[in-house]
Structure 1
Amino acid sequence: MEESITCEVCHGPGLTQAVVRDVCKGCHGQPLGETEPEPSAIMQSTPLEFERSVAKRDGQTCPDCHMPKQGGMSFHGSKSSRVAPESYKGVVRVENIERRSSQIVVTVKNNVTGHWLPTGAATNVIFLEVVGYDAKGQVAYQNEHRFEKSVFSFRKMPMAVTGDTRLKDNEKREVTFDVPMSVVRISATLTIKPRLLSGEAVEFVIDHRDTAIGLAG
């Protein structure tokens, strides 16, 4: 353990904005150069996302959500998707589904104000899975949209970020799907499919909405 990082730094009154930047970033971010890039430009960007977030502007710190007080002491109580994927429950919501001519628009909202979602490792992906049903209840359409940070890997080693479709803090986004005219009902499901520390691959439903949309006019 570094001499400057004592128990009190993370668990006691020494938890300040400076500690959030210097200590939390040590595990949850990556070293930056003299200038701070966009979060989409680096592999693990959670601290940088926070520095530019709604929560930061409102005077909050990472520990306000991730290190709640218990018995007068702070502890790291927020679990990651690789340990407890249920921690994502409700933080991203399917807010609305509507038909616009031959298209279906699904509105998704990131309710977290401190960082983008998913955050952390680039392997974290949130899936928006859309299924359309016809008047007979038969599946007439299936598709998905991925909220993720895409990376280029060489010999299984991540080398560079090639794209970023994640939800920014407090962002509401419309995702559009071209569906057959025969679709009268849409089922939209948000899931996260992390590979747990045990190596087990799981699927956890974050949110779900089922909406009748009627035949296209």
Structure 2
Amino acid sequence: MNIKIILFTLLNVALIIYFGASYLYDAKYVIYTKPAIIPIFMLYAFAKNRGKLSQNYSFFVAFFYLGETFLLHHESQPILYVLALTFYFLSYLTVAILAFPYLKNLKLLNYVKTNTIFIFILICCFLGIVISIIFKNISIIYLNLIILLNAIAALILIITALIYLRIEFTKKSIYYFFGSFSIFFSDTISALIVYFLDDIVLNFTERILHFLGFFLIYLFQVQNREIQADNDFA
């Protein structure tokens, strides 16, 4: 059997088990299923798109995966929560770096229009509300600092996605835009669940956005490398 078919089947089985463990049995069982999903997906991605995945994308996957893995165990070891937030911070920056080549040597102010500023202000207000809720529940200074750094990195990612979509409205910029926003809102909802309201609808929304964002960034990367290869061939 083709290795790609095997990996694709394993990926779907892992996702079914993950959501089944989350909602049909006991949520704590996700610690046994979730860590397997991203490695299986990446094996499938590399098998299907050999040579199309950049080094920066590999860094993003590694940081994203480590953040997810440490977060699953943070209740037993508080230091793991700090490590999870640190790797999330790095994953935000690496996703932003993926789009930086399209922003350099450009007069960015030409692309910052009124609607872009308006959306960014709304995101800032929303993030400010979330951070204020978190800070009321945390009195540890260094943890608050890490959370604030994550918020700054998230804002860098958001403004990068907004400007990139403004610069060029293409399939890959749309993938990047919605992938970035999905990751941002997924992590924001996750923070609200941990510190404010643990709700089944919020949990489901967070997990859908989580995997959707990761997949859309993958599609952006593949689309980006395909365009580069076509240009090199031309």
Same fold at TM > 0.5: no
More helix by share: 2
What band does the TM-score fall into relative to the shorter chain? under 0.3
> Highest Rg: 1 or 2?
1
More RCO (CA 8 Å, sep 6+): 1
More strand by share: 1
TM-score (norm 2): 0.26
